[in-house]
């Protein structure tokens, strides 16, 4: 009996696996955006005659393979199949190995056309379309059906062994997931409810938001149910997305626990700047040794990597360097073959998100887990905003190579004309800067061509402006009522900063949620639910779950200190009050505490005053731009036997995502409501939120601020045996509209004076 097809592969994916060769070469980048590519294809098809057939669905089988794809076009008059490739810059700059890949795809489409239409031969056209000039350059060849069939079977045979391996892996994985049990004797309180809600969402292909308290094991409680749903729903991938590196590590630890029973392939994605081994070199074979011959060595590196169950950044680096390939680009290749991928939000939600693009092109069934999802609002706003700084531009313009001077001069003139029309420090513009955008697009095209010829000629600052300009232009293409264009003038030199500022990311994120099989967003702070629905564009069918806390009021003494103001105008006066309060509590119950402030300046004032007045109390503090090693050293001060006060900024590295259980942390002081700064930008945001949602102050200031407060407070109680104290220091914490945003299990005591105790009392 002939083998029945059981492995589905797209033409493009097949050729990328079998026909890529030579160097990794990113000199011919960036390519046109997806939108520009689609527009280019439409222009080419629109130039053809009425009998021209666009987007022809084709397929064939080879052993276990079912090969499918869509040819860009077929001309029955010429008996010609066309493969259209859009580009920007110089055609000659397209590397030879890219052209080799393009021909491999075109010839497979040639065979599929011959089979479908019973042709004995066919003309194959590779059409390169310049998106700037809209010029077509066409290369053609005529091939017999027999020669094309041999080419098709050669590519399939190269892939077939790998396909069998993947089918065997999937069968083992699904069988193991079907019988996998929860790795602990029982669920924690609240963890089962969280897991059940995520399982139901996966089974019914829906979205769910789950507000669940810290300390119940949300990471394990979200991954386990999705893995259990995997076989029944025939998932292809799980994406576990985090806002910070600490969240990635928690996910990897949980997956390591679950993986003991299953042959899961787990991959950690790390940012390019952290994975790069040669930051001083360009990403092409003439510069970087790990790019030279990358695709020639990729098969052995890929095979070795998939023998390692958990590919965290360290394991991946070891394998990559052992095979002399780039760790970052090896990880991008392995994303195609891994089961669970752990990475930052931007890999799925950003404008050029790799995981989203892969899920789209390969038609994966993916379930997405969004950890600490309260962060997604601000992160998504940043993803869909763009900024250009005139000071940086002037420096770049001054040092630009001669062939680029004219393009930069045009930008400078358009920029100054635009900025000169504004007399106030901050203003929102009614329309986009059409002339400036035109000059930016012109510069991008010229610089792209220049890079193709002289890839090492541009310095880091010029390249940075080039990429910033491309992002600015792309965000401008998406511009709508959800964003504003504003100009800020800096004093005293009147340099301007241009910003396409996203206010509501919902319109951009809706497609991301719709693309996924299921999505679960979870956090300890997702209240009020309507705020996150409005900001993120969650589906109307999205379920909201509020998991009851396993903790009780006796575990955490919550005290609102109502006789202190931490408003900006009152901060200097409040320093002595804060020092007195912190020292008094420390004397009463020596141990480890965290103190949170609205700014580094405020933090420094209180920390220095505490050191001066109470030099015996150990103090350590967060500093600006702390390295990861410095952050680890800061946290290492919190031990079961140590005592002292750690000072940190609210909303920073230590306000969430850290776990200091037991006596490692017995209390926290929060001397701020965490409200965003009162400035023209936020005031304009407030007016917009008032107009669209009827809650300008809440949406702009109160909800984002209190979310940070509750997150920081959640550092204190991490388990059923923990005991601690929390001081919320500001009279505004006593207001009813603020207190309604506190966790339901808190019992709040309002105090106006904290007296010195006579003797310490230990917890």
pLDDT above 70 (res 475): yes
Q: Return the pLDDT at 628.
A: 84
Q: Mean pLDDT throughout 559-588?
A: 95
pLDDT above 90 (res 644): yes
Q: Mean pLDDT throughout 679-692?
A: 95
Are 194 and 369 in contact by the 8 Å Cβ rule? The answer is no
Domain with CATH 1.10.275.40 in the chain: 385-502
- DSSP code of residue 702: I
Q: Is 127 left (phi over 0), alpha (psi -120 to 50) or beta?
A: beta
Among 141-155, 229-243, 278-292, 626-640, where is mean pLDDT lowest? 278-292
How far are the Cα atoms of 341, 349, 374, 669 from residue 511, in angstroms, in the given order?
20, 9, 19, 41
β-pair partners for 690: none
Tally of residues, the chain: 763
pLDDT above 60 (res 761): no
pLDDT above 70 (res 455): no
Q: Return the pLDDT at 493.
A: 64
Domain with CATH 3.90.320.10 in the chain: 7-161
In the sheet with 340-344, reading across from the earlier edge strand, the strands are 310-311, 266-268, 340-344, 237-242, 366-370, 518-523, 207-211, 543-546
CATH T-level assignment (fold) for domain 385-502:
Fumarase C; Chain B, domain 1 (1.10.275)
DSSP collapsed to 3 states, 465-519: HHHHHHHHHHHHHCCCCCEEEEEEEECCCCEEEEEEEECCCHHHHHHHHHHCCEE
Most confident listed range (36-40, 241-245, 663-667): 663-667
pLDDT band (50, 70, 90) for residue 193: very high
pLDDT above 50 (res 236): yes
CATH number, span 553-751: 3.40.50.300
% of residues, the chain, pLDDT over 90: 82
Q: Return the pLDDT at 753.
A: 64
Q: Check: pTM over 0.75? Answer yes or no.
A: yes
Tens-place pLDDT, residues 123-141: 999 999 988 889 999 999 9
Q: Return the pLDDT at 281.
A: 86
pLDDT above 80 (res 763): no
Class of domain 186-269+335-382+509-546: alpha beta
CA distance 451 to 459: 11
CB contact set of 717 (below 8 Å; sequence gap of 6+): 214, 215, 551, 555, 556, 723, 724
CA distance 168 to 165: 5
Domain with CATH 3.40.50.300 in the chain: 186-269+335-382+509-546, 553-751
CA distance 575 to 44: 69
Peptide bond preceding 166: is omega within 30 degrees of 0, i.e. cis?
A: no
CATH T-level assignment (fold) for domain 7-161:
Lambda Exonuclease; Chain A (3.90.320)
Among 19-23, 31-35, 303-307, 415-419, where is mean pLDDT lowest? 31-35
Strands 483-490 vs 495-502: parallel, antiparallel or unpaired: antiparallel
Peptide bond preceding 30: is omega within 30 degrees of 0, i.e. cis?
A: yes
Q: Return the pLDDT at 529.
A: 94
Q: Return the pLDDT at 758.
A: 44
pLDDT band (50, 70, 90) for residue 3: low
Q: Return the pLDDT at 754.
A: 55
Among 282-291, 566-575, 603-612, 738-747, where is mean pLDDT lowest? 282-291
Mean pLDDT of all residues belonging to the chain: 92
pLDDT above 70 (res 1): no
CA distance 32 to 748: 56
pLDDT above 60 (res 2): no
Are 24 and 298 in contact by the 8 Å Cβ rule? The answer is no
Q: Return the pLDDT at 88.
A: 76
Q: Return the pLDDT at 6.
A: 85
Nearest to 253 by CA among 268, 243, 274, 238: 268
Q: Return the pLDDT at 286.
A: 85
Q: Return the pLDDT at 464.
A: 93
Q: Mean pLDDT throughout 474-490?
A: 93
């Amino acid at each position: 009996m002939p083998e029945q097809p059981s492995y589905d592969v797209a033409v493009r994916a097949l050729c990328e696996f079998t026909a890529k060769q030579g160097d990794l070469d990113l000199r011919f980048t960036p390519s046109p955006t997806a939108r520009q590519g689609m527009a280019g294809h439409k222009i080419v098809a629109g130039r053809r005659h009425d009998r021209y057939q666009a987007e022809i669905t084709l397929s064939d089988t080879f052993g276990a393979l079912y090969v499918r794809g869509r040819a860009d076009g077929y001309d029955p008059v010429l008996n010609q199949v066309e493969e259209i490739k859009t580009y920007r810059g110089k055609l000659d700059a397209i590397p030879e190995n890219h052209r080799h890949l393009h021909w491999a795809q075109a010839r497979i489409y040639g065979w599929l056309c011959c089979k479908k239409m019973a042709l004995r031969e066919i003309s194959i056209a590779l059409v390169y379309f310049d998106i700037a000039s809209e010029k077509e350059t066409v290369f053609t060849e005529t091939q017999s059906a027999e020669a094309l069939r041999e080419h098709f079977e050669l590519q399939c045979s190269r892939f077939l062994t790998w396909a069998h391996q993947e089918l065997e892996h999937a069968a083992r994985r699904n069988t193991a997931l079907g019988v996998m049990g929860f790795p602990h004797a029982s669920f924690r309180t609240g963890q089962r409810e969280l897991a059940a809600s995520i399982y139901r969402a996966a089974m019914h292909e829906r979205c769910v938001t789950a507000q669940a308290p810290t300390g119940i094991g949300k990471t394990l409680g979200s991954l386990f149910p999705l893995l259990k749903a995997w076989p029944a729903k025939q998932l292809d991938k799980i994406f576990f997305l985090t806002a910070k590196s600490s969240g990635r590590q928690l996910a990897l630890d949980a997956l390591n626990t679950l993986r003991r029973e299953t042959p899961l392939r787990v991959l950690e994605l790390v940012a390019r700047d952290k994975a790069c081994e040669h930051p001083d070199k360009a990403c092409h074979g003439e510069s970087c040794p790990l790019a030279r011959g990358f695709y020639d060595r990729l098969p052995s590196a890929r095979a070795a990597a998939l023998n390692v169950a958990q590919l965290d950044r360290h394991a991946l680096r070891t394998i990559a360097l052992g095979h002399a390939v780039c760790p970052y680009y090896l990880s991008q290749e392995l994303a195609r073959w891994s089961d669970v991928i752990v990475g930052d939000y931007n890999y799925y939600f950003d404008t050029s998100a790799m995981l989203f693009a892969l899920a789209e092109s390969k038609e994966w069934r993916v379930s997405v887990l969004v950890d600490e999802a309260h962060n997604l609002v601000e992160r998504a706003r940043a993803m869909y905003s763009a900024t250009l700084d005139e000071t940086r531009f002037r420096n770049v313009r001054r040092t630009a190579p001669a062939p680029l001077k004219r393009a930069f001069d045009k930008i400078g003139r358009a920029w100054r004309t635009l900025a000169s029309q504004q007399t106030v420090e901050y203003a929102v513009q009614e329309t986009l800067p059409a002339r400036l955008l035109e000059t930016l697009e012109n510069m991008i095209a010229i610089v792209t061509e220049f890079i193709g010829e002289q890839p090492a000629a541009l310095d880091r600052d010029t390249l940075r402006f080039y990429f910033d300009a491309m992002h600015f232009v792309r965000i401008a293409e998406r511009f709508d009522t959800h964003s504003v264009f504003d100009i800020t003038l800096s004093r005293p030199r009147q340099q301007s900063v241009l910003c396409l500022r996203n206010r509501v990311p919902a319109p951009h994120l809706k497609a991301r949620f719709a693309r996924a099989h299921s999505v679960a967003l979870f956090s300890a702070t997702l209240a009020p639910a309507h705020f996150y629905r409005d900001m993120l564009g969650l589906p109307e069918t999205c379920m909201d779950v509020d998991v009851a806390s396993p903790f009780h009021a006796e575990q955490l003494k919550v005290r609102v200190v109502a006789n202190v103001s931490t408003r900006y105008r009152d901060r200097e006066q409040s320093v002595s009050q804060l020092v007195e309060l912190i020292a008094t509590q420390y004397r009463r119950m020596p141990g480890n505490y965290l103190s949170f402030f609205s700014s580094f300046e405020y933090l420094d004032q209180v920390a220095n005053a505490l050191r001066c007045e109470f030099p015996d109390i150990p103090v350590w503090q967060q500093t600006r731009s702390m390295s990861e090693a410095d952050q680890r050293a800061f946290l290492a001060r919190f031990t079961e036997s140590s005592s002292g006060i750690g000072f940190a900024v609210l909303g920073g590295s230590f306000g969430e995502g850290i776990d200091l259980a037991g006596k490692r942390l017995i209390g926290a002081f929060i001397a701020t409501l965490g409200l965003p700064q009162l400035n023209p930008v936020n005031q304009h945001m407030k007016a917009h939120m008032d107009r669209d949602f009827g809650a300008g102050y809440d949406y702009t200031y109160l909800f984002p601020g209190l979310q940070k407060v509750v997150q920081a407070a959640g550092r204190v109680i991490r388990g059923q045996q923990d005991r601690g104290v929390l001081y919320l220091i500001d009279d505004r914490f006593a207001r009813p509209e603020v207190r309604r945003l506190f966790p339901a299990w808190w019992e709040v005591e309002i105090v106006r004076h904290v007296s010195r105790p006579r003797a310490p009392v230990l917890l």
